[in-house]
Amino acid sequence: MADNAAFDVYEREIIISELRRTLDLISDEDQFRARLPDLTIQHRKFSKIQTKIEKSFIKAKCFDKDEQLSIRNEFNDLYFEILKHSNKLKKQDDEHRRSSTYQRHSVCFQNTSHMNKLPSLPLPTFSGEVTDWQSYYDLFCSLIHDNLAYTDVEKFRYLLLTLKDEPYNLIKSIPITEDNYNIAIDTLVSRYDNKRIIASKHLDKILDLKPFSEKISGLRELLNIYQENIKALETMQFPVRHWSFILLNILLRKIPLIIRKRFELSLE
């Protein structure tokens, strides 16, 4: 077996092991809940890795159909068992939320639904610019997705309110139901949560910086765009510090020659 195939098999075992561990923690509700946000990601990773492994085995002419189906079945059994218990917890949370709605709301809103009372912070919006995805998704999760006070139907309606253009068109035809909310979220994540594409967009913004005039406002705008995208790449764990020489020279090419010469003289 090639090294990369062996690594994929090892990574697959880690994912399955994580699911077994999650299932073992059902009796510990806090830990079980803490692991649930990773469930969808694990499902997506497993499907991708398993397909890659099967293709490698077929190419190497050592594919065992029964063995690979057995592994897929084991993963699915674990996944859906965890999902079953997760849905039970959601129902319990919904019942608790409904029973305490009156106490949580102020008198002027006591007869309204959650949809009539938006979070105190303004909802984020997303129109398909991939470099905006992570900040949008993090804020949406903080305000809505991870908020147990809302049902999945309400979360779905909030989700649609925050989307524009392409991402809105991507999920607008999905019926608004409890079960379909996670499908809508997964659809958006699979489309926009692509580290390589996001990083490429940030790098493009640096490479495509327009040369500025000698006005101080132009320099400020240039530096703001540069620093914003550098910080985004650092947040994504790219080794930006090792690129400092290249990035600095890219930046220097965008400023007037006289300012560049002054900078270079200051280094001597």
The pLDDT tens digits of the residues spanning 186-214 come to 999 888 887 777 777 777 777 777 776 66
Reference 115, options 159, 60, 158; nearest CA is 158
Q: What is the DSSP letter of 131?
A: G
Q: Which residues pair with 126 in a beta bridge?
A: 163
Residue 131 within a domain: yes
- Structural domain ending residue among the three candidates 148, 164, 192: 192
Whole-number Å distance between alpha carbons of 174 and 182: 11
| Average pLDDT value over all residues in the chain | 80
Residues 206 and 251 in one domain: yes
Residues 84 and 13 in one domain: yes
Residues contacting 167, CB < 8 A, separation 6+:
126, 127, 128, 188, 191, 192
Q: Which domain holds residue 64?
A: 3-99
Residue 226 within a domain: yes
Q: What percent of the chain has pLDDT over 90?
A: 17
pLDDT-derived band at 2, boundaries 50, 70, 90: low
Residue 109 within a domain: no
Number of domains in the chain: 3
Residues 63 and 139 in one domain: no
pTM: 0.42
Over residues 82-119, the pLDDT tens digits come to 988 888 888 887 777 665 543 444 433 344 444 445 54
pLDDT-derived band at 21, boundaries 50, 70, 90: very high
